[in-house]
Every structure is written in C-alpha cells, then in structure tokens.
C-alpha cells in the first residue's frame, strides 16, 4: 500500500510512538529508523509489525516476516523521519521484556549499572561502549527514560539491540548481583580509590549515577569498593557516558593481561 497523507491512521500511530513513552508502554510497540539499526533489531529477534519505505528506495527486507508493508511519499517520509540520512526506512517493532532473568552472564561477568540516568543520549552512548567493550549487560535501575526512546536508539546506533539490557529497581539489582557473586564498584568521589588500583578481573558491576546527584545511599552502602577517576582540572565530574567508557575499558585492559 502506498501512503501519501500524514493524516493516515498508520502514520499517526507511528508519530505517536515516536513522541510518547506512554503510547510505547501501552501498545508494546516502538519505532526504529535506519537500515543499520533495523538490521541489528531484527538480528536480535524483534518482530516487525509495520515497515514504511520511501517510494524511491529499493526493497530492503528479504526473508523477514513483516506484519504490514507500506511505501510512503517523500512528503510523508519527511514527517516521520527523525533525521535526514536514514536510508529511507522506518519500522514499527514489537518490544521485548527486559528483566534481570533475561541476562545470561559469562563465567566472570562484567556489567554496567546506571541509576536514574535521565538523558537518552547518555544511555545510548553507554550502550555503544558496552557493545564495544564486550560487557555482559547494562542494568538500568529506576529509569527516567525508556529503552525505546527514539533518541536513545539513535544515540546507541543499534547497540540497544546488541547489548543484553535489564530494567529493575536498585534493590532488585543489588540482590541479583550479590546472589551471583558479583562485586559492586560504585563510581563516586567520596571515600574512594583510583579506579586502576581496583581488581576488575573478578565478576564485576560498575555502578554510576547521574552527573547532578550521583548515586543514592542504597548503592554506597551496598558497594564492595568505591572508585574514582582522577579529576585534574577545576571540574569535579565527567559525562556519565565518558566515565562508563573509561571504567569499562580498564576492566577490559585488566582482563586482557591476566
């Protein structure tokens, strides 16, 4: 079917899913834009509910089950595309559950844990680092943004589909980590040691909070060690995604020289 009006019900549904987290939660659907992101999403086992292709683009999906398939005019595509260079493809996908039980850690797992991180771009960047560093998973505690936010998907460049991810409360996460013998390292300035002086070759969770308020006391009290990145200038914090990358790659370095 060819769509030429932004008032079409399917286009209205797509726009609502892009713009409203409440609609994503209610329907169990979300939007993916771009060929690379969609390829990662499908490879991770997500189901395609609807696909919208710019009329001038060649067919994209072959051998993949698609609920509904549409071509759209350039006018409609300009309305539904979040960014300009997305190869003429947008899809509505069915969401998955992201619980602690869906994680399948290695013998010496390495997790990144984020508490109350609000900015989708930061979370997306952390997921990219987690993918690059081979982390066993990213655990998001008490989230202030949802995993299917379009800005998060875009910032992660599809890593939100390649990295095992769980969403839970801080208390649930702490219980999970302790039950599985995973040491908890909290990134904080107070009462902390330099991160490169801490053993990360054992099962490890690197825990970070927001730049504004840091971690809550429940994490500080549950930690096996507090670690910090040296700050040699006038500022006292780094962007959370930058901090995550630094700490993650220290764990990668230590594990590579065992």
100-256 and 2-94 share a CATH fold: no
Task: Give me the tens of pLDDT residue by residue for the chain, a chain 258 residues long.
Answer: 889 899 999 999 999 999 999 999 999 999 999 888 998 999 999 999 999 988 876 556 666 777 888 999 989 999 998 766 567 899 999 999 999 999 988 889 999 999 998 899 999 999 999 999 999 999 999 988 899 999 999 999 999 999 999 999 999 999 999 999 999 999 988 889 999 999 999 999 999 998 777 899 999 999 999 999 998 998 877 899 999 999 999 999 999 986
CATH topology for 100-256 is: Alpha/beta knot (3.40.1280)
> Strand (E) positions, the chain?
2-3, 29-33, 48-54, 66-72, 89-94, 110-115, 137-141, 165-168, 183-187, 193-194, 204-208, 225-228
How far apart are the C-alpha atoms of 23 and 2, rounded to whole Å? Answer: 25
Q: Are 107 and 38 in contact (CB under 8 A)?
A: no
Domain ranges of the chain: 2-94, 100-256
CATH topology of domain 2-94: 60s Ribosomal Protein L30; Chain: A; (3.30.1330)
The strand order across the sheet containing 225-228 reads: 165-168, 137-141, 110-115, 204-208, 183-187, 225-228, 193-194
Q: Give, in order, the Cα–Cα distances in Å from 57 to each of 54, 71, 89.
A: 6, 9, 8
């Amino acid at each position: 079917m060819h769509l030429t009006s932004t008032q079409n019900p399917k286009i209205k549904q797509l726009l609502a899913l892009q713009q409203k987290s409440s609609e994503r939660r209610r329907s169990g659907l979300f939007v993916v834009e771009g060929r690379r992101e969609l390829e990662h999403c499908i490879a991770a086992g997500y189901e395609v509910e609807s696909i919208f292709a710019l009329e001038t683009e060649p067919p994209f999906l072959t051998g993949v089950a698609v609920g509904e398939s549409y071509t759209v005019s350039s006018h409609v595509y300009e309305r539904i595309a979040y960014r300009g260079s997305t190869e003429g493809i947008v899809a509505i996908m069915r969401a998955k559950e992201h619980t602690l039980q869906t994680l399948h850690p290695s013998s010496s797992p390495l997790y990144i844990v984020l508490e109350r991180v609000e900015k989708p771009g930061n979370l997306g960047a952390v997921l990219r680092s987690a993918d690059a560093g081979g982390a066993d998973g990213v655990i998001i505690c008490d989230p202030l943004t949802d995993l299917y936010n379009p800005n998060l998907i875009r910032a992660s460049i599809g890593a939100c589909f390649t990295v095992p991810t769980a969403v839970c409360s801080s208390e649930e996460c702490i219980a999970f980590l302790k039950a599985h013998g995973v040491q908890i390292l909290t990134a904080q300035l107070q009462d902390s040691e330099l991160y490169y002086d801490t053993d990360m070759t054992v099962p490890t969770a690197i825990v970070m909070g927001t730049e504004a308020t840091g971690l809550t006391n429940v994490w500080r009290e549950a930690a096996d060690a507090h670690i910090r990145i040296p700050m040699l200038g006038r500022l006292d914090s780094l962007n959370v995604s930058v901090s995550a990358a630094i700490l993650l790659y220290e764990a990668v370095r230590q594990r590579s020289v065992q």
